[in-house]
Amino acid sequence: MRHTSRKLAYLGLCTAVALILAYVEVLLPPLYSAVPGIKLGLPNIAIIFVLYRYGVRHAAVVSFVRIAVVSILFGNPMTFAYSAAGAALSLLVMAILRRMDVLSTVGVSVAGGVFHNVGQILMAMWLLGTAELGYYLIVLAITGTVSGIFVGLCGGMAVKRIPMRNI
């Protein structure tokens, strides 16, 4: 029973860290002055950590809770729809790559960043009924790669520096 309580406490802590990182991201000056929709994806540092430490099921729960709370605090129902679509596709791809164990945390994170953007664009194309938004993926793939590298480096450091025996 103690192990379950400790695990739940750590997952709650990871969710709180993801929420704090989302708030920090909101406070940062916009990176999208020329290109809307670009974010660093800082909360995904916690998601990468949970994916590597606890698995995809727990990462999905932490990700969903984070998206729901952030949408309520800083967004709207559309924010939730876009974020949930991006997060679901991103987590699916990251879980597959993690299971295959062929990429580092950076590679897994880059794929997650790019597919998060793919999920959001697919949701926008569906909601708005226009396929032309697909062209925007070129720009978002570049920014998703850059932010994925940063997130993967940070998440990988957390995985390496926080031993499993403590969690």
Q: What is the pLDDT of residues 47-99, one digit of tens each?
A: 999 999 999 999 999 999 999 999 999 888 999 999 999 999 999 999 999 99
- Provide, rounded to the nearest whole percent, the portion of the chain with pLDDT above 90: 75
- How large is the angle between the packed helices 44-53 and 137-161, nearest 10 degrees? 50
Closest CA to 154 of 45, 11, 14: 45
pLDDT digits (tens, 9 = 90+) for 153-167: 999 999 999 987 766
Closest CA to 63 of 46, 75, 79: 46
SS3 at position 30 = coil
- Domains of the chain in sequence order: 2-166 (1.10.1760.20)
| pTM recorded for the entire structure | 0.91
